[in-house]
């Protein structure tokens, strides 16, 4: 289980007239084993910063993240490096995630070697298994990223991640840069592999259709805060927060959000929490 408790990540802008940007402002939630929590909100609401803060790719200013009993925020740099195999991130740009000089075989085997997960014979066998698990064939192992399509490179990234058998992944808009015809294939692959490996997942997207297809539960983010969280069907079909209703009612992300005063999260119905607002 993944427990995120009161995570805050702030940035300061300006040299003379400094201003604090509350990119993530007191976010808390849980993700059960094998569950996918979809995170949706307009551009700039803090979704990506939250995902990176949870993995400590960006250091949060406050809060705790516990991954299956381990307090990630309390780990030293050395301990965190060892723990990295248990939590991974899928980025939007698969090509940028891969070393262009490496053959695909080398890219997939690299994390196995770093974490000393078997001898060379065992690693080679595991690489062959992984490339087939993600829907590619062994001839792709001798190619380099620039010789593959965007969808194929995203499959390679998935193979690299699965090599370490992580307990938790953050998927940050992993299909938004792909052609529509390829998006569905990658989404099905991520969902199927997540179920097979029993991975917990935070799936970040601005696309409500993708969020609906991928998520067991959905959290809605506005200006660094979670304003509504619950079962996917409840949040998307029966939204309670004014911002969620606007988000669901307008195709794509809204250009602006209603002005609100933060009060408290209340449990409106079992498992469905909504932030009270004042206009």
Q: For residues 39 and 172, what is the distance between their CA atoms, to the nearest angstrom? A: 9
- Name the pTM for this structure: 0.87
Residue 252 has pLDDT above 60, yes or no: no
Any domain includes 142: no
pLDDT value at 264 more than 80: no
Domain assignment present for 178 = yes
Reply yes or no on whether the pLDDT at 127 is more than 60.
yes
Higher pLDDT: 178 or 200? It is 200
Radius of gyration of the chain (CA): 19
What pLDDT sits at residue 6? 95
Greater confidence (252 vs 153) lies with 153
Q: Is there a domain that residue 159 lies in? A: no
- Predicted confidence (pLDDT) at residue 162 exceeds the cutoff of 70: yes
What digits encode the pLDDT tens for the residues 49-106? 999 999 999 999 999 999 999 999 999 999 998 898 899 999 888 899 999 999 999 9
Q: Which residue range is the domain that position 242 belongs to?
A: 2-93+167-268
- Assess whether pLDDT exceeds 50 at residue 257: no
> For the chain, how many structural domains are there in total?
1
Residue 85 DSSP class: G
127 vs 178: which has the higher pLDDT: 127
Instruction: Answer whether residue 103 is part of any domain.
Output: no
Q: What is the pLDDT of residue 84?
A: 87
| Cβ count near 133 (within 10 Å) | 17
User: Does residue 143 sit within a domain?
Assistant: no
CATH of the domain at 171: 3.40.50.300
- The predicted model gives 6-19 an average pLDDT of 85
Considering the domain boundaries, does residue 34 fall inside one?
A: yes
For residue 190, tell me if it sits in a domain: yes
């Amino acid at each position: 289980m993944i427990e995120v408790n009161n995570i805050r990540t702030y940035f300061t802008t300006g040299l003379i007239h400094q201003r604090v940007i509350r990119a993530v402002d007191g976010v808390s939630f849980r993700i059960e084993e094998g569950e996918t929590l979809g995170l949706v909100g307009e551009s700039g609401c803090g979704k990506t910063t939250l995902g990176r803060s949870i993995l400590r790719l960006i250091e949060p200013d406050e809060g705790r993240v516990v991954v299956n009993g381990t307090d990630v925020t309390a780990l030293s740099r050395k301990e965190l490096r060892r723990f990295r195999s248990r939590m991974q991130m899928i980025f939007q740009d698969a090509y940028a995630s891969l070393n262009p000089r490496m053959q695909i075989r080398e890219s997939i085997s690299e994390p196995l070697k770093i974490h000393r997960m078997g001898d060379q014979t065992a690693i080679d066998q595991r690489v062959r298994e992984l490339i087939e698990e993600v829907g590619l064939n062994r001839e792709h192992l001798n190619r380099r990223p620039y010789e593959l399509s965007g969808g194929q490179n995203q499959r390679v990234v998935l193979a690299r991640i699965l090599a370490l058998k992580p307990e938790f992944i953050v998927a940050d808009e992993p299909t938004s840069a792909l052609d529509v015809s390829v998006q569905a294939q990658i989404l099905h692959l991520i969902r199927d592999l997540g179920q097979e490996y029993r991975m917990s997942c935070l799936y970040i997207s601005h696309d409500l259709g993708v969020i609906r297809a991928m998520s067991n539960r959905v959290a809605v983010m506005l200006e660094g805060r979670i304003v509504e969280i619950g079962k996917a069907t409840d949040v998307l079909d029966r939204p309670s927060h004014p911002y969620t209703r606007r988000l669901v009612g307008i195709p794509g992300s809204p250009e602006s959000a209603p002005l609100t005063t933060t009060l408290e999260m209340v449990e409106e119905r079992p498992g469905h929490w909504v932030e009270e607002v004042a206009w």
